[in-house]
Amino acid sequence: MKFAFILDPLEGLKADKDSSIAMMRAAQARGHAVAAIMRPALVWRDGAAHAAAAPLTVREDDHDWFEAHAPRQTPLAAFDAVLMRQDPPFDMEYVAATWLLEQAEASGARVFNAPCAVRDHSEKLAILAFPQLIPETVVAREAAALNAFIDATGDAILKPLDGMGGSGVFRVRRDDPNRNVIIETLTGQGARTIMAQRFLPQIAEGDKRILLIGGAAVPFSLARIPKPGETRGNLATGGTGVAQPLSRREREIAEHLAPLLHRRGILLAGIDVIGDCLTEINVTSPTCFVEITRQTGFDVAGMFVDALEKACRT
């Protein structure tokens, strides 16, 4: 099979921890051809979506992990699968890419995750469909509503709707002297909607990333444990990733969401769980394949390629 990956610039990817590279290595090891596409190269013309696709030779050497061959203009429908693996921000250019990929689907391309599903599942707001699984949450742009929530909970996490890697996330207590300026900054003086959630002290045990692949859960999570003095567990903010078997509650949440999201066109999702609560559903470019595999021996990328092969045959 031939798989095309829409990626960030290859030179900036870190092979010792990048999940997209793990996917490509696993696919190539099974004899599949892989190619890289940069999102700006997407174009619709002559009734179909095309892109300049560079065939790759993927190596196991983390310091010299790829050889890119000359790119060729290729209809996306010529690939057995196209995988959108570019990191957020989920801005209008990202949305435009989903529209073009939807047109590619109309001309016969198989795109994962489905472009319409990526658009419809805000990584912060998608959890609102599952109120029984989430902590107390408010989504608002008006300071009065956010202040009332902080007063009611006493301790809250505030975050933008379009961030990643812990960027723009604040912990705000009822008596925080900076809470008004934090709200003003995050909302742009009331111009932007943000999310507030009750602070979960179980963050000390880790913000658990659980991978859902092809309607099933990987049996291990990556607990991202905050460094001392931090409330954010994100690896990008210095958190430590510790792989561990799913708890009963984590498995319950994962098994509830996995088949539902799969039916919606999401082949791969990364859900975040703190304590007993679902906090995010990540569908753009979920990570943590490498860390889980390295620490447990469970072949996450192999499970993904299994699901991708199956999806391409159906």
Class of the CATH-defined domain 2-119: alpha beta
Going from the C-alpha of 205 to that of each of 6, 94, 240, 244, 288, the distances in angstroms are: 34, 34, 11, 11, 17
Q: In the chain, what percentage of residues exceed pLDDT 90?
A: 88
The encoded tokens of residue 266 equal 């999401």
**Cα dihedral 91, 92, 98, 99 in deg (nearest 10):** 170
Beta-carbon contacts of residue 64 (< 8 Å; ≥ 6 apart): none
Rounded CA separation 186/170 (Å): 9
CATH number 1.10.1060.10 given to 202-299: no
CATH class of the domain at 136-199 = alpha beta
- Token pair 């959630």 is found at 197
**Is 90 exceeded by the pLDDT of residue 162?**
no
Domain boundaries, the chain: 2-119, 136-199, 202-299
User: Band of the pLDDT at 238, cuts 50, 70, 90?
Assistant: confident
**Read out DSSP for 33-93?**
EEEEEEGGG-EEETTEEEEEEEEEEE-S-TTS-EEEPPPEEEEGGGSSEEEE-PPPP--HH
Structure confidence at residue 210 (pLDDT)? 98
Is the confidence at residue 150, as pLDDT, over 70?
yes
Please identify every residue annotated as catalytic. 124, 159, 209, 224, 232, 272, 280, 282
70-116 pLDDT per residue, tens = 999 999 999 999 999 988 777 889 899 999 999 999 999 999 999 99
Model confidence band, residue 160 (pLDDT cutoffs 50, 70, 90)? very high
